[in-house]
């Protein structure tokens, strides 16, 4: 007998095609999501971590799983993705769609505003925060791009998370490893990026600060 599997990085509501309205999201939750959840259970997945989904509707899904009106794995939530203005997912997944952009991304460039938004999200029972440190496009090492997050903003988000004993999941590309290090966040990128598993098993990739330990 094996213990249940943990999917530590999923986007339950961010599927192809991506919802572009509350009505479309409602239809997805009622008609498509139950099958996705059931499929995960049948594959042995008993716990999932939502690493950035439509906010705050993912909390409704989490509550329905808890009360039993939806059947599926235990769900932990990280909240929406913080990013620099015009970054990822605003200009990647949600390009040209204002509704998607408002529900999936938190675009911030002011550290004080970022801290306030982060504190508000941590009060909703999330297990950590998600920050897309890299911008919307690939580029060479050391070259800045549209949507890159200011290191001071990342620091503000991490500090707000630490106030509640939480960690920050940092999405970044290869080109940003040095920038993350300078911001006090050590990451371990994959081909497209990396993220922390906040509030779960400690990562083998060590951070200069424990609240930002990352895993590929």
Q: Looking at the DSSP assignment, which residues form a beta bridge with residue 47? A: 6, 74
Helices and strands (DSSP H and E) totals, the chain: 7, 7
Query: What is the Cα 130 distance to its own chain's centre?
Result: 4
User: Cα(161)–Cα(166) distance, rounded to whole angstroms?
Assistant: 5
At residue 213 the predicted structure's pLDDT band, cuts being 50, 70 and 90, is: very low
pLDDT tens column, 87-126: 989 988 999 999 999 999 999 999 999 999 999 999 999 9
Q: End-to-end alpha-carbon separation of the chain, Å? A: 27
Backbone angles phi, psi at 125, to 5 degrees: 85, 15
For the chain, domains (ranges, CATH) are 5-212 (3.20.20.140)
Dihedral Cα 54, 20, 83, 208, nearest 10 deg: 40
147: left (phi over 0), alpha (psi -120 to 50) or beta: left
Close Cβ partners of 157 (under 8 Å, ≥ 6 residues apart): 82, 114, 115, 118, 129, 131, 168
pLDDT for res 178: 55
Q: pLDDT tens digit string along 129-170?
A: 999 987 765 555 555 566 789 989 999 999 999 999 999 988
């Amino acid at each position: 007998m094996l213990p249940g599997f943990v999917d530590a990085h999923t986007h339950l509501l961010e599927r192809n095609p991506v919802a572009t309205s509350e009505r479309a999201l409602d239809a997805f939750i009622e008609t498509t999501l139950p099958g996705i959840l059931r499929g995960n259970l049948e594959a042995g997945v008993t716990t999932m971590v939502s690493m950035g989904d439509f906010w705050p509707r993912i909390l409704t899904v989490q509550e329905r799983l808890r009360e039993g009106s939806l059947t599926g794995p235990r769900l932990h939530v990280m909240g929406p993705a913080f990013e620099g203005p015009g970054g990822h997912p605003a200009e990647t997944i949600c390009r040209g769609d204002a509704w998607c952009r408002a529900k999936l991304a938190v675009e911030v460039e002011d550290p004080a505003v970022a801290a306030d938004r982060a504190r508000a999200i941590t009060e909703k029972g999330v297990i950590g925060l998600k920050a897309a440190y890299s911008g919307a496009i690939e580029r060479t090492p050391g070259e800045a791009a549209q949507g890159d997050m200011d290191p001071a903003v990342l620091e503000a988000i991490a500090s707000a998370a630490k106030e509640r004993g939480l960690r920050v999941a940092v999405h970044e590309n290869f080109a940003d490893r040095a920038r993350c290090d300078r911001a006090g966040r050590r990451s371990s990128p994959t081909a497209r990026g990396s993220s922390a598993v906040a509030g779960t098993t400690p990562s083998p990739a060590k951070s200069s600060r424990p609240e930002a330990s990352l895993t590929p």
